[in-house]
Amino acid sequence: MDMQAFFKMSYGLYVVSSSDGARRSGCVVNTLTQVTAEPAQLMVAINKDNLTAEIIRGAGRFTGTVLSEDAGMELIGRFGFHSGREMDKFAEIPFAEDAAGIPYPTGHAAARFSCRVVKELDVGTHILFIGEVEEAERLLDEEPMTYAYYHRVKKGLTPKNASSYNPTEKAAVREAPKKESWRCTICGYVHEGELPEDFTCPVCGVGAELFEKVE
């Protein structure tokens, strides 16, 4: 099977988040999509190991935020390469809450949706949530970020818990550098120039030992 064929499928890049009153968290996904118009419904697949999935199951609600093309790797890394069990992902970033108290990031957000879960399906490693849209709002006129743009322009990698994770991806996205470059093997962040021994990745926080030189 040619796993690179999956790179030809078109996706967006979103932050899906939820709160059960005591906890709040969110994660980056490329699986948020509209499934019906009347009523308006969205579906999203989230890894069972993610705290976000656990909170959505308890709260019965989630928000979906469409990231714009100018969203930085710091924001993507916060929601895509860190665990909500270890940090409050909404701390120190701009965010708002919908009418039900579910948070969503407001920085670099092209649009946002608030959904009430009406059905869920166990699909193995992931849970498929179907939510009826109760709120929808356009926030910015900026172009929404596609998953292809994230890979091609941002040079980002796919989180291990993502539905589209492919262990061969690192080889597929590597390009010849113009000068010495080092790539984080966890999140794909590229550091240009000499890599200090005490360097830590600004996106996912790992040390220099987990960087590889881009040949």
- Residue 133 has a pLDDT of 98
Asked if residue 40 and residue 79 are part of one domain, the reply reads yes
Domain assignment present for residue 26? The answer is yes
Domain assignment present for residue 163? The answer is no
Domain assignment present for residue 100? The answer is yes
Residues of the chain with pLDDT under 70: 7, 157-179
Q: Which residues contact 79 (CB under 8 A, 6 or more apart)?
A: 15, 17, 26, 27, 28, 89, 105
- Residue 175 has a pLDDT of 46
Task: Write down the mean pLDDT value for the chain.
Answer: 89
Domain assignment present for residue 211? The answer is yes
Asked if residue 120 and residue 19 are part of one domain, the reply reads yes
Q: What is the CATH number of the domain that holds 196?
A: 2.20.28.10
Asked if residue 84 and residue 18 are part of one domain, the reply reads yes
Asked if residue 205 and residue 105 are part of one domain, the reply reads no
- Residue 68 has a pLDDT of 97
Q: pTM to 2 decimals?
A: 0.80
Asked if residue 67 and residue 27 are part of one domain, the reply reads yes
- Residue 171 has a pLDDT of 46
Closest CA to 64 of 129, 107, 101, 115: 115
Asked if residue 131 and residue 76 are part of one domain, the reply reads yes
Q: Which residues contact 185 (CB under 8 A, 6 or more apart)?
A: 170, 210, 211, 212
- Residue 2 has a pLDDT of 78
> How many domains in the chain?
2
SS3 199: coil
Asked if residue 215 and residue 119 are part of one domain, the reply reads no
Asked if residue 204 and residue 140 are part of one domain, the reply reads no
Residue range of the domain that includes 209: 174-215
* 41, amino acid identity: Q
Asked if residue 200 and residue 111 are part of one domain, the reply reads no
Asked if residue 20 and residue 78 are part of one domain, the reply reads yes
Q: What is the CATH number of the domain that holds 89?
A: 2.30.110.10
Domain assignment present for residue 81? The answer is yes
CB 127 within 8 A of CB 120: yes
Asked if residue 97 and residue 19 are part of one domain, the reply reads yes
- Residue 202 has a pLDDT of 87
Which segments of 12-125 are extended strands (E)? 14-19, 24-29, 33-37, 40-47, 61-67, 95-97, 103-105, 109-122
Domain assignment present for residue 161? The answer is no
Asked if residue 215 and residue 128 are part of one domain, the reply reads no
Domain assignment present for residue 63? The answer is yes
Domain assignment present for residue 159? The answer is no
State percent of the chain over pLDDT 70.
Answer: 88
DSSP string, 148-180: HHHHHTS-----TTSTT--TTHHHHH----SS-
